Amino acid sequence: MIKNHYNVIGVMSGTSLDGIDLAHCAFTHHGHWNFEILQAETCTYPSVWVEKLKNLVTLSQKELLQLDEDYTSFLGGNIEQFIHRNKLYNLDAVCSHGHTALHQPQNGLTYQIGNLSKLATMLNKTVVCDFRVADVALGGQGAPLVPIGDKFLFSKYDFCLNLGGFANISSEIEGQRIAYDICPVNIVLNSYANDLGLEYDDGGKIAATGNINQSLLNELNALSFYETPYPKSLGLEWVKEEIFPLIDSFSLSIKDVLRTFVEHIAIQIAKEINSKRNASVLSTGGGAFNQFLMTCLSDKTENEIILPDKSIINYKEALIFAFLGVLRLRNENNCLGSVTGAKHDHSSGKIYYP
């Protein structure tokens, strides 16, 4: 049934392994969409799960299927606790991205763990999930998926920039919403911070003490992905094959690695946002809290970089996956062919009932 008000939970786990983002959201539709984030929190991954999720691409098919079962149970437990803690009743759905295990759209393959039907049974709630698969089957990249939310919820900004495991960007070009991945961000920065025994480089303070290695920077900027036209997306596999071996071949100190890679990120993002003059750039995701990165980026553009309310910075992706689920319940398009390269716009995602 098409309604004007929806009460849903959005669930997001990103490649930076910060944790599981949970956002209780309300959406209303009266000619246009409005939203409110009512409650939100991040459930930090225990170290045992960080290790498991870091090594997904090394698992056999049998091991991956078992991990999918275990992760779905783990995810369901966290969602259930969130529901009980916040006394959330009369939910229309739980809308979950799951966690990316494999992403090889060029081979017609994408796989998110945590999207099994038992999630609906565990929660005794309608669950909308597994949003990528149908898009890849239609010849798309299966990512990025967030731009449909940018189009309907954040249209006043010229660019919507998300700084998570990867940087991705969304904008209107010649009347069409276009979006694509730019480069890795926290998936690389956090990995090298981990080598120092830290979860992440807080505020970019360590990177700020390092020196740029120009040879490494040149090689990073010369990677062929950056010359590939959109639609395009990145995955953990690409980082393990292209980025880590290249960086490690230079045998640099961690602070110099971080400084060089921050510069690389800023250069690649600036190249994209400088395609428009006097543009407004909404910046969200965990990387927006990296003050040193944001300073390096600001130094390379005259466009206005806007940091919204913390709840938007932290939970914009969870909010938009909640929105994708709402559109799926309405059987309305939530995947844009102009973004992913799919044959046409479509309504993507599996619906499981308790």
Q: How would DSSP label each residue in 5-51?
A: EEEEEEEEE-TT---EEEEEEEEEESSSEEEEEEEEEEEPPPHHHHH
User: Which ranges of 195-348 does DSSP label H, i.e. alpha helix?
Assistant: 205-208, 214-221, 236-238, 244-248, 254-273, 291-298, 310-329, 337-340
Phi and psi for 316 in degrees, rounded to 5?
-60, -40
CATH topology of domain 147-311: Nucleotidyltransferase; domain 5 (3.30.420)
Instruction: Collect all residues with Cβ–Cβ distance below 8 Å to 41 and sequence separation of at least 6.
Output: 21, 22, 82
Q: How far apart are CA 4 and CA 28, in angstroms?
A: 5
Residue extents of the structural domains in the chain: 5-142+322-352, 147-311
pLDDT at 2: 82
Please give the average per-residue pLDDT across 344-352, as a whole number: 97
Looking up tokens 């926290």, which residue turns up? 186
Alpha-carbon distances, residue 87 vs 55, 120, 148 (angstroms): 35, 18, 29
What kind and span of H or E run contains 221? helix 214-221
DSSP 3-state of 92:
coil
Q: How far apart are CA 55 and CA 62, in angstroms?
A: 14
Tell whether the model's pLDDT for residue 95 goes beyond 80. yes
The tally of CA atoms less than 13 A away on the side-chain side of residue 63 is 9
Could you give the percent of the chain with pLDDT greater than 70?
Answer: 100
Averaged pLDDT score across all residues of the chain:
95
Please give the average per-residue pLDDT across 333-347, as a whole number: 95
Common-topology check for domains 5-142+322-352 and 147-311: yes
pLDDT at 127: 98
Domain 5-142+322-352 in CATH 3.30.420.40: yes
Lowest mean pLDDT among 13-22, 42-51, 156-165, 279-288: 13-22
Q: How many other C-beta atoms can be found within 10 angstroms of the C-beta atom of residue 209?
A: 13
Looking up tokens 């690649």, which residue turns up? 268
pTM of the model: 0.89
Residue pLDDT, tens place only, 217-233: 999 999 999 999 988 88
Q: Are 308 and 35 in contact (CB under 8 A)?
A: no
pLDDT at 266: 98
Residue type, position 252, single letter: L
Q: How far apart are CA 195 and CA 264, in angstroms?
A: 20
Q: How confident is the model at residue 186 (pLDDT cuts 50, 70, 90)?
A: very high
Please give the average per-residue pLDDT across 191-198, as a whole number: 96
Q: How confident is the model at residue 1 (pLDDT cuts 50, 70, 90)?
A: low
Q: How far apart are CA 192 and CA 210, in angstroms?
A: 13
Q: How many other C-beta atoms can be found within 10 angstroms of the C-beta atom of residue 66?
A: 12
Q: Residue 166 gets which letter from DSSP?
A: E
Strands 5-13 and 93-96: parallel
Q: How far apart are CA 212 and CA 215, in angstroms?
A: 9
Q: Residue 59 gets which letter from DSSP?
A: -
